[in-house]
Chain A
Amino acid sequence: MMFRKILPIVAILFIVALAVSNYFEKPEVASIIITQAYMLANFS
């Protein structure tokens, strides 16, 4: 298998039928992810 760099991608949320497990819906996790999504959307 190819070596793959790990990227901070957990950020993108606003997709129909997002293929994520329930873990991502925990408030603590979701808050991190949403912050990241806004950062990406607004400041990149």
Chain B
Amino acid sequence: MKVELENLFSIAETSQDQVINVYNRHGIAIGAPEIRKRNLKTKFNPIFTLNEDVTYEQVTALYESLEREFGIVSIGERFYFEFSDIEYERASLFTLNSTGNSPEMFLEDKGTLFSLSTHCKYCGLMDKEQLSPIVIDTTQMKDRHLVHVNGYWVASEELVLLMKKENLEGYELLEVIHKGPEEEKQLAYQIIPTQMLPECSKDRVKLYFATEQPPCNCGLNGVINGPDIYHHEDLKNVKGDVFYSADFSHDGRYLYRKTLFSKRFREAIINSGISREVRGEKDPNFGPKDWLFDPVLIK
């Protein structure tokens, strides 16, 4: 697994070469930039790998230089986690990160009932407990097989049939409540894992944005978690195809438990033609209907 950092900021086209020099001076080799013109300024987005040679400490020193020498104070940061082919082939579990590179993979919650409680009094992250079936406008699912609603996955009837046909196990289905036009409404089901995995390995990569507030003491807000990584022994006796993660994820306001899927689940999706095989966000196969599974790493 490789961690990459992409920066994005505006610079005058004339200072481009000097900015590249600043990166190089900090030991970060970047090549000829892809420039996006926008008025007089251009968008500059260098991407580089973080490793023993380029640490995040070096990057924060770089940002200080960019500010001091060029007055660049507004820098975007984006992390990418890239996996090797061996990591895809060896993984027994996968995280589902997208069911299509399209806004339609996200569906708006139309009034599911939750009980809320404060999880962290410093950053205000809330725990939520689901009290009713998920409420969505199912006409918005159109011909999508799986949509994401605030941390939960909602499946079409066709996907449920496929999961049954493939004898996938480890979940319960809860029919959603439709709220919207009666015409073209459809049946849809929340996939509720019946098992929770053990806790992740402590070796999971944890990052933060140097350009933002440092992470909260709760260890959740402001922390960018790298890929899930488990000890081999912890997964040895795990059976089934759908699981909750023991570790919390959050959307900036609410905590939720991420759902993980088995290799068999991923293969069923690919073999049935629901999605092409996608290996990473940069894979040209990642189209508006393709599913992005990241392999769970084993230690």
B31 touches A (CB below 8 Å): yes
Q: Which of A6, A21, A32 contacts B46 (CB 8 A)?
A: A6
A10 touches B54 (CB 8 A): no
Q: Which residues of B contact A37 (CB under 8 A)?
A: 101
Q: For the side of the interface on A, what is the size category?
A: 20 to 34
A15 touches B97 (CB 8 A): yes
Which residue on B lies nearest to A11, using beta carbons? B101
CB distance from A3 to the nearest CB of B (A): 5
A23 touches B75 (CB 8 A): yes
Q: Which residues of A contact B74 (CB under 8 A)?
A: 23
Known contacts A12-B286, A19-B79: A4-B97 contact under CB 8 Å: no
A10 touches B29 (CB 8 A): no
B137 touches A (CB below 8 Å): no
CB distance from A4 to the nearest CB of B (A): 6
Q: Which residues of B contact A23 (CB under 8 A)?
A: 8, 74-77, 211
Q: Which residues of A contact B81 (CB under 8 A)?
A: 19
Per-position 1/0 for A2-24, Cβ under 8 A of B: 11111111101111111111111
Q: Which residues of B contact A21 (CB under 8 A)?
A: 76-78, 209, 211-212
A6 touches B33 (CB 8 A): yes
10 CB-based A-B contacts, threshold 8 Å? A4-B31, A6-B45, A6-B47, A8-B36, A10-B6, A10-B8, A16-B98, A23-B77, A37-B101, A41-B102
Closest 10 CB pairs of A and B: A23-B76, A19-B79, A21-B77, A21-B209, A20-B78, A15-B98, A41-B288, A8-B34, A14-B101, A6-B34
